Structure 1
Amino acid sequence: MATPDAPAAIGPYSQGISAGNLAFISGQLPIDPATGAIPADSTIEEQTRLVLRNVQAVLKADGMSMSNVVSTTVYVADLDDFARFNAAYAEFFGSSAPPARATVEVARVPRDAKVEISAIAVR
C-alpha cells in the first residue's frame, strides 16, 4: 500500500504491506508529506502528532483507521521526553483499549527525528 498523504519511503521498503487481514505499517517519521521535511524546531509532541497522522494516512490507504491498530513500536531519541510523547500519543488512541506498545530509547532516529513509530493493524 502507498499514499501521497504520507512521506514516501526513504529507502528500499514500503509505507505498509497488507497480508491477509493484517497491515504492517513501516516506521513513520515526522516528515511533512507536502514538504518532505521534518518541521524545524518541532517539539516531541508536534513530531508525535505528525508521525501518527502519517500512520493514519497509510492505514486509510488500506481502508483502515487507528481503531484497527493492535500494536505499535516506538523509537524515541530521548526517554526524558516520554511523558510529553505519551500525552500526544494518547490523543490518537485514548484510554479505551489502546494498542499494545513497546517504547525504546535509541541512539539515533533517522533524519535526527525525535520519534519513529511502526504499527500493526488487523481488520
Structure 2
Amino acid sequence: MRQIISTDAAPRSAMYSQGVRVGSHISVSGLVGIDATTGRLAGPTIQEQTRQALANCRHVLEAAGATLDDVVEVGILLSDPDDFPGMNEEYATWFPTDPPTRYAAKLGAVLPGVLVSIRMIAITA
C-alpha cells in the first residue's frame, strides 16, 4: 500500500509528493535548497544549497520513520556541472563513511537561483 509522506519541515508543492513509502521502501522527491521556514533559498553557494537540500531530504525521511543511515541511493542534479566539487565538499560531511550509491547529472529544468536538487531512496527494516 502506497503511503504519501509529508512534512512542513521541507518545501512542498501540489505538483509532487515529498516522499512515498511502500512497505520498507521510501522514495524522497528531488528537493532543492529552499528553507521551508523562510520559503527562500538557503544561500547563493552550492555548499549552502546542498546543505539545505540534504536537510530537506532528511526531514522527509524522518517523517517516514527513517534516517540517513537507511539511504541506499542518492541522486544529485546540478544546474552547473562545475559545482560538483563544491557539492561534494558539503555532501561528504553528511555521508562521511560507507556512503550510499549515488549518481549526478545536469539539472534540465531552469529554476532561477537553484543550483542543486537532491533525491533519495531509503530502505527500512
Amino acid in the other structure paired with 2:80? D
- Correspondence for 2:19: 16
Amino acid in the other structure paired with 1:121? A
Give the TM-score normalised by the residue count of structure 2: 0.89
User: CA deviation digits over 1:35-91, x for unaligned, max 9?
Assistant: 112145x20000000000000000000111111110011000111111111010111
Q: How many residues align?
A: 120
- Correspondence for 1:70: 72
Higher strand share: 2
Match of 2:56 among 39, 44, 54: 54
Match of 1:3 among 7, 30, 41: 7
**Secondary structure in structure 2 of the residue aligned to 1:110:** coil
Q: CA deviation at 1:107?
A: 4.3
Instruction: Indicate conservation of the 8 Å contact 1:70/1:100, yes or no.
Output: yes
Question: Could you tell which deviates more after superposition, 103-112 or 55-64?
Answer: 103-112
Show structure 1 runs of 4+ deviating over 4 A.
none
Please show how residues 89-100 of structure 1 align to structure 2 within 5 Å: 89-94=91-96, 96-100=97-101
Unaligned runs of 5+ in 1: none
In structure 2, C-alpha distance between the alignment counterparts of 1:109 and 1:44, rounded to whole Å:
16
Give the TM-score normalised by the residue count of structure 1: 0.91
Q: CA deviation at 1:112?
A: 3.6
Q: CA deviation at 1:122?
A: 0.3
Q: CA deviation at 1:109?
A: 4.6
**Secondary structure in structure 2 of the residue aligned to 1:119:** strand
Q: 1:108 to 1:49 in 2, by over 3 A?
A: same
